[in-house]
Amino acid sequence: MVEITIRKRSRTDATDNQRKFFKKTARGKVLKVIRERYLRDDVSCGIEGCSACPMINGTVLPANGLSGHGLAPSGHFVLPDTNVFLHQMDLIESNLFNPPLILLQTVLEEVRHRSLPLYSRLKALVKAEDKKIHVFYNEFRTETSIVRQDAETPNDRNDRGIRTGAAWYSTHIAETHQPARGSSRSSHPVVFLMTDDAANRRLAEQEGVRCVSVRQYVDGMRDPSVLLDLLSAAGTDDIEPTRATMSRAAIYPEYLPMSTLTAGVAAGKLHQGHFNANQYNYLEGSVSVPAFTKPIALFGRQHMNRAVQGDIVVVEVLPESEWKAPADAVVDQESHLATLQNDDPDESEEEGSDQEAANEEKAERILVSKREIQDGASQKQPTGRLVGVIKRNWRAYVCHIDSASLSSSSSTSLSQQTVFATPVSRLLPRIRIRTRQAPALLGQKILVTIDRWESTSRYPEGHFVRSLGKAESKEAEQESLLLEYEVPYRPFGKAVLDCLPTHGDAWVVPPKTTDSAEWRDREDLRDVLVCSIDPPGCQDIDDALHARPLPNGNIEAGVHIADVSHFVLPDNPMDSEAASRGTTVYLVDKRIDMLPALLGTNLCSLRPHVERLAFSVIWELTSDAQIVNVRFTKSVIASKAAFTYEEAQVRKDDSKLQDDLTKSIRLLNHLAGKLRAGRMAAGALNLASPEVKIHLDSAESSDPIDVEQKEQRETNSLVEEFMLLANISVARQIQESFPQTAVLRRHLPPPRTNFEKLQDILQKRKGMTLDVSSSGALAASLDKCIDPDEPAFNTLVRIMATRCMLSAEYFCSGSVGRDTFGHYGLASPIYTHFTSPIRRYADVLAHRQLAASINYEPLHASLHSKSHVERVLQVVNRRHRMAQMAGRASVEFYVGLALKARGLRDGHVMDVQEEAFVIRTFRNGLGVFVSKLGIEGLVMFKRETTFDADNYIISVPAVDGREVKIAVFDKVTVRIKVEKDKNTQRGTVKMTLVSPIDSSGL
């Protein structure tokens, strides 16, 4: 019989191992919380063959550590402190950095407290099969647990805990290590405390702990040159500052202390929001805050004060007498500063950048004078200056090395040099990096991370992470696009794949029996004439439909959605991965799946002539599409056909076809027309966005050869209407059942100020009014925006109106007021996403809530937690936005390739000319939209022009001396070329006017 020992803790120990603190609840009540730690002496060190520690499951560190390092040839382990993970994660993640790591619980918890994104990366590293990382729970081992002392800060306490852990490991290994045969007892491996904190290193050395800085450790490795480039400038005191940041006067104002910022925001004297850079003018930015209907404008580098796109910042609003309107000129950093290419990245500002600084100041003075001219005609907006940063949005950016920043003497040198990395995004500043690989990286797409931006440096400093490949190569461009929009694209890990059905492709719906788990409480709809209608080549078929007349004269219509939640169970690795990815990302020639392909394109996909599990919404409708009743049920279906939109349209229109399936499609189309008419009558908006179809050479090569507008058919609308109806019906059901945690989607009404410019343009250029008092009024006035001479004009106005809208978002029903649930664009009081669970994680959550609402299964505890739902939806919203932008960028890239292919016919370079509409005028150019290709472009004029900002007209001087006036909404012809962009190093569409004036010489 196992002997059980009961150990009673002494009163002194109980006090030492208690943690007492107070916290305030949401309702303002103060609670006293006491947490106790129970210490043990059997927490394993994780080293293979240790004679004093119990065997463990999971990662085991090699008995002799890693040998061959210059500082410890006989073997060693590395115990990093918190700052190493906070600042040097790119180094730790590198495949070339592979020492056995001891990760203390203290460090892991501190990383979680300081940065959740880095914590997620660290957890992934712990699970990685190619890394040797052991998590040691030092807070629960008797010898390594410590208690915070009087007057000791939390940070000092954690540092002491790390030193204690390192000292214990050194002693433990010396006492328990079994030397290899023939070696002395003293030749045991050593433990290095890796830290760049000088104070912590000094204290550790005083306590007899062997310490090493990150740089010292990397220097001692074999062939350290590549790893040295990965070192973050912010994380180490061993990297000397560049001459550009040494001992000189501040260029930017210092930020206010964090306490001052938070107090100022709370008092309403300062304002917090996200910084947005101006894509047309690198010397302007803005911050949207609740206190003002218009964004607060920031003019000039001084007032933008080192903010980077997406940073959460605090701004101070200037007196109203200093408010201005944004400049009406396109100001591009590369072309505007002629001396930019002569800027030496390694020179101090006084020596090498005086001319650039003078040019920027001159540029800002010119823009200020233009704003003052404008201000009499245009409406000013709140103007301010940035006084602090709450949270940086720094991440890895896709860049290329600016060849002009390499001196001629170092263009082939392999010594370390400082160069400029130019980001692909025009919203970002150039980044100063140090690298030994600069000559080899020229012409490559690379990944760079920002480390710091001192007030004495005109540019931020960062470090090289890795190369993506040759610029303009399809592989490098695709990966750079995914990285640019933070799309998770790595293969699914073993833990995720282990969650799939063990039968794999051979899995089928089992025969219907009373004891079958799959058939429990499911309705058998296999005999119903169900079909799917999707785009060509669709493999992840989420939805199918049916319709049939009922004996009482009404119609039964059903939407059947893939039952993904049957396979993706809550809180397992596959569910966590799907929650992290948030959505499937669709690029022109590939798809980045949210779920493994076995589910997405096979077991969950509602393929024809195969039995599949589904979640069905079935209505009884009148012939006018009025809902009599609705029911929700888990089901088994067998789709009878998988149509493309074109095939379904042809079948519907062919009067010779009178089979039941065709009649079902016609019935669905009839009901869809009624549903659409009802939505429009309720005030739903018929907006537009440009959609194009890329023609590829073949499925294998994926080389684009041409591009054209997508054709919209009745069957597109048929599917859309029934998906909308299903989403609305499910939203009502889950909100009634779970009023505090229902996963819903809303579209807030846009501020009226968003439409002011479009209203003004329509009034002055076309004499039309745009009523934005409600969605119904906006829909009615959009219907009236018709130009008899130009059928495409109405679509253009709808596209421009769409850009004035706010983005739709997922939300937790208990987190916002009931009056803000509505979907403005659909004119629906409530809405959710239910119909695409294969490709959207929000739909999976809605499925789980709907299943619980019909008592099919209990709701998982996580979906009863409002805070949990909020956190998940915050990630999903962000992933959804980034996926949309990645998709658009992919289309833009392939449109460029297709135009390049179109321009090369029979080996000859030919002009590509298309009609376009002017959608924006600047003092020095035009913004045009080519509807046939779904792309926008800038037509720039180098000569002086006359600009009438009030009436949105630019007068361009022709070669013969006459002036040609061009205004917003005018139709023009443009010449389109694909040229290598200096900024992005990829083929970019460039446009010049052909008519009414040839601008190639202007």
The model's pLDDT over 26-38, given as tens digits with 9 standing for 90+, comes to: 667 788 777 777 7
Q: What is the mean pLDDT of the chain?
A: 86
**Of residues 78 and 354, more confidently modeled:** 78
pLDDT in tens, 406-465: 765 555 666 788 899 999 888 999 999 988 888 888 889 999 999 999 999 999 999 999
Residue 677 and residue 654 in one domain: yes
pLDDT in tens, 158-178: 999 999 999 999 999 988 876
Residue 837 and residue 936 in one domain: no
Residue 599 and residue 504 in one domain: yes
Residue 849 and residue 858 in contact, taking contact as beta carbons nearer than 8 Å: no
**Of residues 697 and 665, more confidently modeled:** 665
What DSSP letter does each residue of 523-591 carry, written as one string? EEETTS--EEEE-TT--S--EEEEEEE-TTS-EEEEEEEE-GGGTS-TTSHHHHHHHHH-B-EE-SS-E
Inside any domain, residue 968: yes
User: What is the spatial distance between Cα 668 and Cα 543, in angstroms, rounded to a whole number?
Assistant: 14
Both structure tokens of 976: 């389109």
Report which of 572, 482, 580, 575 is spatially closest to residue 875, judged by C-alpha positions: 580
Q: Three-class SS of residue 306?
A: coil
Q: Is the pLDDT confidence value at 80 over 50?
A: yes
Residue 504 is given by DSSP the state G
Buried b (16+ CB within 10 A) or exposed e, 866-897: eeebeebbeebbebbebbeebbebbbbbbbbb
- pLDDT mean over 686-712: 63
**pLDDT band at 965, cuts 50/70/90?**
very high
pLDDT in tens, 293-302: 889 999 999 9
Q: Is the pLDDT confidence value at 275 over 90?
A: yes
The pLDDT assigned to 979 comes to 75
Report which of 316, 318, 322 is spatially closest to residue 271, judged by C-alpha positions: 316
Inside any domain, residue 896: no
The pLDDT assigned to 988 comes to 74
Residue 459 and residue 438 in contact, taking contact as beta carbons nearer than 8 Å: no
CA dihedral 60, 64, 66, 70 (to 10 degrees): 160
**pLDDT band at 602, cuts 50/70/90?**
very high
What DSSP letter does each residue of 383-394 carry, written as one string? BEEEEEEEE---
pLDDT in tens, 969-988: 999 999 988 777 665 556 67
Altogether, the residues listed in the chain come to a count of 1002
The pLDDT assigned to 646 comes to 92
The pLDDT assigned to 29 comes to 78
Inside any domain, residue 710: yes
Amino acid at 27: R
The pLDDT assigned to 116 comes to 82
pLDDT in tens, 808-843: 999 999 999 999 999 999 999 999 999 999 999 999
Residue 429 and residue 312 in one domain: no
Q: Is the pLDDT confidence value at 332 over 80?
A: no
From residue 919, give the alpha-carbon distance in Å to each of 732, 970, 974.
40, 8, 14
Residue 784 and residue 712 in one domain: no
Residue 660 and residue 564 in one domain: yes
The pLDDT assigned to 1002 comes to 66
Contacts of 721 (CB under 8 A, 6+ apart): 671, 672, 675, 676, 679
Burial of 818 (0-12, 13-18, 19+ CB in 10 A): exposed
Residue 974 and residue 833 in one domain: no
Q: Is the pLDDT confidence value at 499 over 90?
A: yes
Report which of 600, 417, 398 is spatially closest to residue 479, judged by C-alpha positions: 398
Q: Three-class SS of residue 735?
A: helix
The pLDDT assigned to 703 comes to 61
Inside any domain, residue 253: no
Report the CATH number that the domain containing residue 940 is assigned in CATH.
Answer: 2.40.50.140
Q: Where are the beta strands (DSSP E) in 906-961?
A: 908-909, 912-922, 925-930, 935-940, 946-948, 953-957
Number of domains in the chain: 6
**Of residues 723 and 33, more confidently modeled:** 723
pLDDT in tens, 726-736: 999 999 999 99
Residue 717 and residue 798 in one domain: no
988: enclosing H helix or E strand:
strand 987-995
Q: Three-class SS of residue 406?
A: coil
Contacts of 862 (CB under 8 A, 6+ apart): 570, 571, 868, 869
Residue-range definition of the domain harbouring residue 205:
59-177+187-235
User: What is the spatial distance between Cα 859 and Cα 879, in angstroms, rounded to a whole number?
Assistant: 25
- pLDDT mean over 653-680: 93
The pLDDT assigned to 148 comes to 85
Q: Is the pLDDT confidence value at 749 over 70?
A: yes
Contacts of 17 (CB under 8 A, 6+ apart): 9, 36, 37, 38, 39, 145, 147
Residue 448 and residue 434 in contact, taking contact as beta carbons nearer than 8 Å: no
pLDDT in tens, 859-890: 999 999 999 999 999 999 999 999 999 988 88
User: What is the spatial distance between Cα 709 and Cα 732, in angstroms, rounded to a whole number?
Assistant: 36
The pLDDT assigned to 497 comes to 94
**pLDDT band at 239, cuts 50/70/90?**
very low
Burial of 255 (0-12, 13-18, 19+ CB in 10 A): middle
Burial of 273 (0-12, 13-18, 19+ CB in 10 A): buried
The pLDDT assigned to 357 comes to 56
Residue 538 and residue 629 in one domain: yes
**pLDDT band at 963, cuts 50/70/90?**
confident
Inside any domain, residue 613: yes
**Of residues 335 and 629, more confidently modeled:** 629
The pLDDT assigned to 812 comes to 96
**Dihedral of alpha carbons 617, 618, 621, 625, sign:** positive
User: What is the spatial distance between Cα 707 and Cα 914, in angstroms, rounded to a whole number?
Assistant: 12
Inside any domain, residue 360: no
The pLDDT assigned to 284 comes to 94
Q: Is the pLDDT confidence value at 907 over 60?
A: no
Q: Three-class SS of residue 811?
A: strand
pLDDT in tens, 377-409: 456 889 999 999 999 999 889 998 988 887 655
Q: Three-class SS of residue 1?
A: coil
Report the CATH number that the domain containing residue 416 is assigned in CATH.
Answer: 2.40.50.700
**pLDDT band at 235, cuts 50/70/90?**
low
From residue 11, give the alpha-carbon distance in Å to each of 14, 39, 115, 142, 915.
5, 14, 37, 16, 85
pLDDT in tens, 43-65: 999 998 888 888 777 668 998 89
- pLDDT mean over 114-118: 86
User: What is the spatial distance between Cα 47 and Cα 57, in angstroms, rounded to a whole number?
Assistant: 12
Long-range contacts of 752-761 (CB under 8 A, 24+ apart): 752/293, 753/293, 753/294, 754/804, 754/805, 754/806, 755/801, 755/804, 756/379, 758/797, 758/800, 758/801, 758/804, 761/952, 761/968, 761/969
Q: Is the pLDDT confidence value at 341 over 70?
A: no
Residue 983 and residue 935 in one domain: yes
Q: Is the pLDDT confidence value at 183 over 90?
A: no
Q: Which residue has the tokens 């966590």?
A: 576
Question: How far apart, in Å, do the first and last CA atoms of the chain sit?
Answer: 96
Q: Is the pLDDT confidence value at 361 over 70?
A: no
Amino acid at 739: P
From residue 623, give the alpha-carbon distance in Å to each of 553, 658, 675, 715.
8, 20, 11, 19
Most confident of 226-235, 392-401, 902-911: 392-401
Inside any domain, residue 124: yes
Q: Is the pLDDT confidence value at 350 over 70?
A: no
Residue 400 and residue 386 in one domain: no
Residue 141 is given by DSSP the state B
> Of 864, 882, 900, which marks where a domain is finished?
882
92: enclosing H helix or E strand:
helix 89-93
**Of residues 142 and 843, more confidently modeled:** 843
Both structure tokens of 921: 């005028």
Residue 832 and residue 758 in one domain: no
- pLDDT mean over 136-147: 91
Amino acid at 500: L
From residue 973, give the alpha-carbon distance in Å to each of 291, 693, 917, 930, 991.
43, 22, 8, 9, 10
Inside any domain, residue 765: yes
Q: Is the pLDDT confidence value at 998 over 50?
A: yes
Q: Where are the beta strands (DSSP E) in 392-480?
A: 396-401, 417-423, 431-435, 444-452, 461-470
User: What is the spatial distance between Cα 933 and Cα 589, in angstroms, rounded to a whole number?
Assistant: 18
Contacts of 717 (CB under 8 A, 6+ apart): 672, 676
